[in-house]
Structure 1
Amino acid sequence: MEDRITELEIRIALQDDLLDELNRVVALQQQQLELLARELRQVQDAQRNQDGGKPTSLFDEVPPHY
């Protein structure tokens, strides 16, 4: 009986360690997502400022051979 309890305690400790590691990974990924979202907004703002706020389309561009 004592061996079974010890085995369960070991398994719980390993699961706690795994859960902590997964929480760290999720927190890091959240930080990365927030950074990427900020960078995307900056790129979108720069694009809008460059184009004078007008939406652009590839159909509006003249090919280089014309």
Structure 2
Amino acid sequence: MEKPDIIDHRLTELEIKTSFNEDLLEQLNQTVFRQQEQIEALIREVRELRRQQPDNGPGATPGLRDELPPHY
């Protein structure tokens, strides 16, 4: 059977590892949360840009106002 000192040392090492894992998990959760907020903000922005886009769509031929003058 193992000596009590060795068991105590192993237990301490496991507690330290568990503590680091808990900290890492919390950091990862915060990162995922921030990324989800950014994704949602980008989705809102894309929706707003689509709403502002003219009805004729991106593939439509440009109007006379959209064309550059010949001297460009």
Q: TM-score, normalised by structure 1?
A: 0.80
Which stretches in structure 1 are left out of the alignment for 5+ residues? none
What is the aligned-residue identity percentage?
A: 35
Compare the two structures and name the one with the higher helix fraction. Answer: 1
Higher relative contact order (CA 8 A, sep 6+): 1
* Distance in 1 between residues matched to 2:58 and 2:49, nearest whole Å: 14
Q: Corresponding residue for 1:33?
A: 39
**Does the residue aligned with 1:54 lie in a helix, a strand or coil?**
coil
Which consecutive aligned stretches of 4+ in structure 1 deviate over 2 angstroms post-superposition?
61-65
Q: Normalising by structure 2, what TM-score?
A: 0.73
**For residue 55 of structure 1, what is the amino acid of its counterpart?**
G
Q: Which amino acid aligns with 2:56?
A: K
Bigger Cα Rg? 2
Aligned length: 61
Unpaired runs of 5+ in structure 2? Answer: 1-6
One-letter amino acid of the counterpart of residue 44, structure 1: R
* RMSD between aligned residues: 2.0
Q: How big is each residue's C-alpha offset from its partner over 1:31-64, in whole Å with a ceiling of 9 and x where there is no partner?
A: 00000100110011001xxx2x222316x23863
